[in-house]
């Protein structure tokens, strides 16, 4: 014999109610997750756009300053180390990211440096630097190397602007940028909210100015390109404090399950007594 018709109906209604409750719980959890994520991305849009614009403006300013030095050297009445160092000192005084300025002849020898550095004079232009320098002379435009290790162990990039005396190409002005200074000058305070990674797309090398634990989830990373002379970098911003979406979802599930359990218990108690 089967259960009494009334009790069978109660159980059927209970099963249907439980199924509807579970469906509603799943839908509400998805809604809560999306609402948390949307609120986070909306709140982050302003700072990220500001950081992107600031970083691009900073690197563009370094390129303009380098070109101004090269143009000045090209038009100086006296072509020599004193005139170059005078212009280099003025340019470095206005730049927070440029570490040094050197004059390189057509053969790749470093003739004049500012600040003075015998190490850079002995080093010459080699490796990825020489590729960028050759490109600047051949194409007669400002070029950039890939990420390079600087003489003091930090990471930077070399910029090259051609120098002409009349119609004759006589050499290059080399400017050394430190990536950490580029980030600090272009987006002050960025490190308080994000862990930053620079990727040289051509070279395929990644650099994180400040090593810190990875983010809880890469789902909240932001990507954007950064144009430096004739190269393109990618910048990844990892939020240091991503939204606690998982904790909120688990909490919502727990409350809904508790409420659903209470409702089902009261329903069964009333209709099966």
The pLDDT tens digits for 77-110 are: 677 788 888 888 888 887 778 888 999 988 888 8
The pLDDT tens digits for 116-156 are: 666 665 666 777 888 898 999 889 899 999 888 887 788 88
| Torsion sign, CA atoms 89, 91, 93, 97 | negative
Cβ within 8 Å of residue 241, ≥6 positions away? 193
The pLDDT tens digits for 205-224 are: 888 876 655 555 566 788 89
Q: Tell me which CATH code domain 62-181 carries.
A: 3.30.450.20
Report residue 36 as tokens. Answer: 């948390």
CA distances from 203 to 198, 231, 233, 240 (A): 12, 10, 10, 27
Q: Answer yes or no: is pLDDT of 3 > 60.
A: no
Angle value at C-alpha 248, between 244 and 252, nearest 5 degrees: 175
Q: Which of 110-124, 146-160, 194-208, 240-254 has the lowest mean pLDDT?
A: 240-254
The pLDDT tens digits for 39-77 are: 555 556 677 788 888 889 888 988 998 998 888 888 876
| Torsion sign, CA atoms 237, 240, 246, 252 | negative
Query: Is pTM beyond 0.75 here?
Result: no
> Distance (Å, rounded) from C-alpha 239 to C-alpha 221?
7
Domain coordinates in residue numbering, the chain: 62-181
State in Å, rounded, how far the first CA of the chain is from the last one: 20
């Amino acid at each position: 014999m089967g259960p009494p018709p009334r009790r069978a109906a109660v159980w059927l209604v209970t099963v249907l109610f439980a199924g509807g409750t579970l469906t509603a719980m799943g839908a509400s959890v998805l809604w809560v997750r999306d609402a948390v994520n949307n609120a986070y991305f909306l709140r982050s849009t302003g700072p990220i756009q500001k950081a992107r614009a600031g970083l691009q403006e900073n690197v563009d300013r370094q390129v303009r300053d380098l070109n101004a030095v090269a143009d000045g050297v090209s038009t100086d009445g006296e072509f020599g180390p004193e005139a170059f160092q005078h212009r280099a000192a003025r340019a470095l005084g206005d730049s927070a990211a440029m570490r040094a300025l050197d004059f390189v002849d057509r053969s790749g020898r470093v003739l004049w440096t500012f600040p003075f550095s015998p190490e850079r004079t002995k080093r010459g232009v080699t490796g990825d630097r020489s590729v960028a320098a050759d490109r600047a002379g051949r194409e007669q435009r400002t070029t950039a190397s890939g990420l390079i290790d600087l003489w003091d162990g930090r990471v930077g990039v070399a910029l090259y602007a051609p120098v002409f005396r009349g119609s004759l190409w006589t050499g290059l002005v080399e400017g050394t940028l430190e990536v950490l200074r580029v980030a600090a000058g272009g987006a002050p305070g960025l490190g308080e909210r994000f862990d930053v990674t620079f990727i040289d797309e051509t070279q395929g090398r990644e650099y994180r100015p400040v090593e810190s634990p990875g983010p809880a989830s890469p789902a909240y990373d932001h990507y954007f390109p950064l144009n430096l002379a004739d190269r393109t970098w990618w910048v990844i911003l990892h939020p240091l404090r991503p939204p606690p979406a998982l904790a909120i979802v688990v909490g919502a599930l727990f409350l809904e399950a508790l409420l659903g359990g209470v409702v089902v218990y009261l329903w069964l108690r009333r209709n099966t007594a």
